[in-house]
Every structure is written in structure tokens, then in C-alpha cells.
């Protein structure tokens, strides 16, 4: 795991992960395997945080790239349904096994 750097107080504004695992901050997420596996969903569905400033952390960078792939594949849905700010476009295939998790989290944040 990458060395954990001090986080902004804004990083306590997680929306998705606290519901699934109880982790409230990015530091807690990076210490918990289950939470870190959901980080891509948090990045994809929570544009209120400045994720780009944490790309120096390997786990965040990998999750950010995965979120960009999902964003590219579901851009219209995300922009119109939850009004998500644009992410970088990455034209790669999604892992369809995670589709149900994506829909569940999307429904949660939009309710």
C-alpha cells in the first residue's frame, strides 16, 4: 500500500463507501480491503471531492482510472441521472460482473 499522506477534511464527505463498509474517510478506506475495492464507485458517483489531488496514491490512481472507464461507458446516464461532472474518457471495456454493484450504488446515490 502507498504511504498514506494527510488528507483534507473534505475527504470525510464520502457518500457510497460509508453505506457499504462504515469507512468514513479516505484514510480508513485505504486501510480496509473491502472499502478500497469500492473506491472506484465512490470516485465515479461522488464528484464533490477533488480526486485528482490524490492521484499520487496508487490505490486512488487505479480506482480513478477504473472510474474513468465506467464513466466513458455510461457517460450519458451519469451526466443526466446524477449530473456527474465529466471524468477523463478511457475507451476500455468494463468488467460486466460489477454491473449490479454499479446499478445498486447509482440507485443509492440518486435516491
User: Could you read off the pLDDT of 25-75 as tens digits, one per residue?
Assistant: 999 999 999 999 999 999 999 999 999 999 999 999 999 999 999 999 999
User: Could you read off the pLDDT of 77-99 as tens digits, one per residue?
Assistant: 999 989 999 999 999 999 999 99
Taking alpha carbons only, the member of 86, 78, 87 closest to residue 107 is 78
Q: How confident is the model at residue 1 (pLDDT cuts 50, 70, 90)?
A: very low
And the C-alpha cell for 54? 490524490
Q: Is the pTM of this model over 0.85?
A: yes
And the C-alpha cell for 14? 464520502
Q: How confident is the model at residue 111 (pLDDT cuts 50, 70, 90)?
A: confident
| Integer angstrom CA distances of residue 10 from 14, 32, 48, 109 | 9, 19, 9, 18
What is d(CA 4, CA 16) in angstroms, rounded to the nearest whole number? 21
And the C-alpha cell for 93? 471495456
Amino acid at each position: 500500500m502507498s504511504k498514506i499522506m494527510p488528507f483534507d477534511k473534505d475527504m470525510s464527505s464520502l457518500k457510497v463507501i460509508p453505506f457499504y463498509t462504515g469507512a468514513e474517510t479516505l484514510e480508513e478506506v485505504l486501510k480496509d480491503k473491502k472499502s478500497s475495492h469500492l473506491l472506484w464507485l465512490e470516485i465515479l458517483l461522488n464528484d464533490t471531492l477533488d480526486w485528482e489531488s490524490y492521484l499520487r496514491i496508487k490505490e486512488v490512481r487505479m480506482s480513478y482510472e477504473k472510474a474513468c472507464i465506467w464513466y466513458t461507458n455510461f457517460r450519458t446516464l451519469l451526466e443526466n441521472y446524477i449530473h456527474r461532472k465529466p471524468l477523463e474518457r478511457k475507451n476500455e471495456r468494463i468488467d460486466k460482473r460489477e454491473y449490479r454493484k454499479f446499478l445498486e450504488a447509482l440507485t443509492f446515490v440518486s435516491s
